[in-house]
């Protein structure tokens, strides 16, 4: 591992806390050191209090902050004196410790200190860095792990047997570190947990971390365990056709959602590394040992599911809880967070796409750690009891009790056609705002960059191409696990032409996009919508031209009317599958690409109206926007319309010919 320290960059950070921010970000930039909020850092300094007195203060990473992006505000400033006094207590509960840590803050608005704040306080160095380095975990979780790390690091580290993080660990370190530390000591190793390095400067603590982790990496490399890979090294055999997997993945997601008692996002990864690991001949042995470090259990649960028997996994989890829990604890949902299936690949699960992505990152590192430890002679995680204690830590249970209600569509997946602009673009935004993961389809490549976030997937897709629709649905299901909502919005409004001169080509082109493509989308999505945990929902974007066609719009009016009939028949046929289908009929939505200022002015003038009068030429004298339509489209998929199907709702401010 190479040091990322840069003297020119470091000179831009003046003061202890600023340098603490700088090197914390350097550590956070190395995924093989810390992942998603893991690890913590601190610096001891002094401040002048209100009485003009110098007071020793520990700035330690605050709860909820990530080292990769941490700022000065992310460090909790704690008075050193109470922390050192706490370390001398014989007993302190987690809740008492958390309360005392809050009391030690010099700023009541600061984040809550890391649960390892006391441990940072007792270590005799100004700067302290703590990581869960992959290479260190591969060593400590292998046979004779303690002997191996002592061989690698010698007297440079103090070695602490595994104890659950928090006060117990701090108390043990307060006893063992002074007794074992010597002139060569530059850090401390917590077996099966992580590495601490110490320094009087930010640079020295950071570079000692890089140096020690590099020694561990070299040890692994010399024994053929560094870069050992995730399993068998021959290229992974090609899997079944994508379409064959689509239904399997959606069915698996439905089973997981049932176990979790809420919809989940299930992301599939079938790259070579993932498939190599899930096809290991020893998969059931190595994958069922436990996480690389107990911290990961909050995200991944103790073990993954091998195969697809979610019910058996949930039953085993309940037994795990009965064996280790008690009446004071609230059991977490028994659904897996990682699934390893030789056919599908690596599946990572979360209530949101971001959560599923975090699980993926953690488990990919776990696969590499397992491979390295196995190459050393075997992979051994901590006993289930130790993992359970972290999973059901009182502080974590308290977070659950405080948790608020998630957005209404959390864990659900929506597909929107014609998503690059106008009503489709607004529908994407409305669904994202309600917590859904959204797949946007459009002919325009711009749909791919519409949003840069984990819960959005843009796919350039011509919906008149059946094969392209199949590929797009496969991408959607592999990314998020299924389809719960479908917004049929893509369409065209061809140039005006009377029936007497309407070209056949224009007629067929309009029908192809406005009608035929929607038939294919409905047909291909039906098996997926049937597997939606809360039932499938379809919103069709129709048109005022269905109840009130206009001259010159025969192709458009006929295509939208036919689409409406298709939706009505589908609503009749699919009710038994718990799929509801409703239609919106917008009119005069002018904030779209086709309505340029010039076109608006021209159309308004043709009616003898100003632009504003033209835009509000309806019964209510209001302007109808894409967002207005999108908000109602999203609401139709929500619980307020749970008992409505086959409905047709105008969104037009009141059209005289319709009313």
Residue-wise pLDDT for 268-295, tens only, equals: 999 999 999 999 999 999 999 999 999 9
Q: Is 659 within a domain? A: no
| 446 plus 486 within the same structural domain | yes
> Which letter does DSSP use for residue 589 in this model?
B
Do residue 564 and residue 611 come from a single domain?
Answer: no
Same-domain status, 66 and 132: yes
Active-site annotation, residues = 556
Per-residue confidence (pLDDT) for residue 606, from 0 to 100: 83
Tokens read off for 285? 């042995």
Token representation of residue 455 = 């819960």
CATH number at residue 41: 3.40.225.10
Cβ atoms 126, 201 nearer than 8 A: yes
The interaxial angle of helices 554-574 and 517-530, nearest 10 deg, is: 20
* Cα torsion 65, 121, 49, 204: sign: negative
- Return the higher-pLDDT residue of 621 and 596: 621
Rounded to whole angstroms, the Cα distance separating 340 from 331 reads: 24
Same domain, 576 and 596: no
**Residue 50 confidence (pLDDT):** 84
Q: What is the span of the domain harbouring residue 563?
A: 413-589+626-651
Q: How confident is the model at residue 395 (pLDDT cuts 50, 70, 90)?
A: confident
Band (243; pLDDT cuts 50, 70, 90)? very low
pLDDT over 70 for what percent of the chain? Answer: 96
Q: Do 296 and 208 fall into the same domain? A: no
pLDDT-derived band at 181, boundaries 50, 70, 90: very high
Instruction: Return the minimum-mean-pLDDT range out of 165-174, 205-214, 235-244, 314-323.
Output: 235-244
- 121 shares a domain with 264: no
Q: Look at 88-97, 493-502, 559-568, 595-604 and tell me which has the smallest mean pLDDT.
A: 595-604
Q: Does residue 520 lie in a domain region?
A: yes
Question: Are both 618 and 640 inside the same structural domain?
Answer: no
Residue 555 domain-assigned (yes or no): yes
Under the banding of pLDDT at 50, 70 and 90, the label for residue 597 is confident
**Pair 198, 111 in one domain:** yes
Domain tally for the chain?
A: 4
In the chain, count H helices and then E strands: 25, 18
Q: In terms of domains, do 614 and 633 share one?
A: no
Residues 264 and 202 placed together within one structural domain of the fold = no
Q: How far is CA 247 from CA 219, 278, 370, 429, 648, in A?
A: 45, 20, 31, 27, 30
Positive/negative CA dihedral, 163, 117, 354, 411: positive
Spatial separation of the C-alpha atoms in residues 149 and 31, rounded to whole Å: 21
**Residue 230, in any domain of the structure:** no
**469 and 377 within one domain:** no
pLDDT score of 241 more than 50: no
């Amino acid at each position: 591992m190479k040091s990322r320290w840069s003297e020119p960059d470091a000179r831009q950070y003046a003061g202890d806390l600023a340098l603490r921010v700088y090197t914390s970000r350097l550590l956070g930039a190395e995924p093989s050191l810390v992942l998603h909020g893991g690890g913590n850092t601190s610096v001891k300094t002094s401040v002048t209090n209100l009485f003009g007195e110098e007071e020793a203060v520990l700035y330690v990473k605050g709860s909820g902050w990530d080292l990769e992006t941490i700022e000065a505000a992310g460090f909790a400033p704690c008075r050193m004196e109470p922390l050192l006094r706490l370390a001398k207590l014989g007993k302190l509960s987690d809740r008492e410790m958390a309360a005392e840590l809050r009391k030690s803050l010099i700023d009541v608005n600061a984040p809550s200190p890391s649960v390892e704040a006391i441990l940072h306080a007792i270590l005799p160095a100004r700067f302290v860095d703590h990581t869960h380095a992959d290479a260190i975990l591969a060593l400590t979780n292998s046979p004779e792990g303690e002997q191996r790390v002592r061989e690698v690091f010698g007297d440079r580290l103090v070695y602490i047997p595994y104890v659950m993080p928090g006060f117990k660990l701090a108390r043990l370190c307060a006893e063992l570190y002074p007794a074992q530390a010597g002139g060569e000591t530059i850090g401390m190793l917590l077996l099966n947990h992580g590495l601490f390095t110490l320094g009087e400067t930010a640079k020295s603590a950071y570079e000692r971390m890089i140096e020690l982790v590099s020694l561990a990496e070299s040890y692994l490399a010399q024994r053929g365990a560094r870069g050992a890979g995730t399993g068998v090294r021959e290229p992974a055999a090609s899997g079944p056709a994508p379409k064959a997997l689509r239904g399997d993945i959606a069915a698996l997601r439905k089973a997981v959602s049932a176990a979790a008692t809420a919809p989940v996002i299930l992301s599939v990864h079938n790259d070579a590394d993932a498939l190599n690991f899930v096809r290991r001949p020893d998969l059931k042995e190595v994958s069922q040992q436990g996480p690389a470090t107990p911290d990961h259990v909050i995200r991944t649960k103790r073990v993954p599911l091998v195969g697809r028997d979610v019910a058996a996994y949930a039953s085993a989890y309940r037994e795990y809880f009965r064996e280790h829990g008690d009446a004071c604890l609230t059991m977490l949902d028994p659904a897996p967070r990682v699934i390893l299936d030789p056919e599908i690949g690596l599946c990572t699960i979360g209530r949101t796409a971001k959560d599923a992505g975090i699980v993926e990152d953690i488990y990919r590192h776990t696969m590499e750690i397992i491979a390295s430890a196995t190459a050393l002679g075997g992979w051994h995680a901590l006993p289930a009891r130790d993992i359970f204690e972290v999973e059901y830590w009182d502080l974590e249970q308290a977070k659950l009790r405080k948790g608020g209600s998630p957005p209404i569509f959390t864990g659900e997946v929506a597909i929107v056609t014609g998503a690059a602009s106008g009503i489709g673009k607004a529908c994407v935004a409305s669904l994202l705002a309600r917590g859904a993961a959204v797949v946007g389809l459009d002919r325009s490549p711009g749909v791919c960059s519409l949003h840069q976030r984990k819960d959005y997937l843009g796919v350039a897709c011509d919906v008149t191409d059946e094969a392209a629709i199949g590929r797009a649905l496969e991408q959607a299901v592999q990314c998020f696990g299924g389809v719960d909502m479908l917004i049929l919005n893509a369409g065209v409004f061809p140039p005006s032409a009377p029936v007497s001169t309407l070209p056949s080509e224009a007629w067929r082109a309009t029908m192809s996009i406005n009608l035929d493509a929607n038939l294919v989308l409905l047909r291909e999505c039906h098996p997926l919508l049937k597997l939606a945990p809360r039932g499938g929902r379809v919103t069709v974007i129709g048109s005022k031209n269905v109840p009130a066609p206009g001259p010159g719009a025969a192709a458009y009016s006929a295509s939208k009317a036919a689409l409406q009939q298709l939706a009505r028949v589908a609503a009749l046929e699919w009710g038994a599958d718990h799929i509801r289908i409703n239609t919106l009929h917008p009119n005069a939505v002018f904030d779209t690409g086709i309505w340029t200022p010039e076109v608006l002015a021209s159309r308004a003038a043709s009616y003898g109206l100003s632009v504003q009068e033209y835009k509000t030429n309806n019964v209510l004298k209001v302007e109808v926007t894409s967002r207005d339509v999108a908000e109602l489209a999203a609401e139709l998929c929500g619980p307020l319309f749970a008992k409505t199907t086959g409905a047709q709702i105008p969104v037009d401010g009141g059209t005289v010919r319709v009313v």
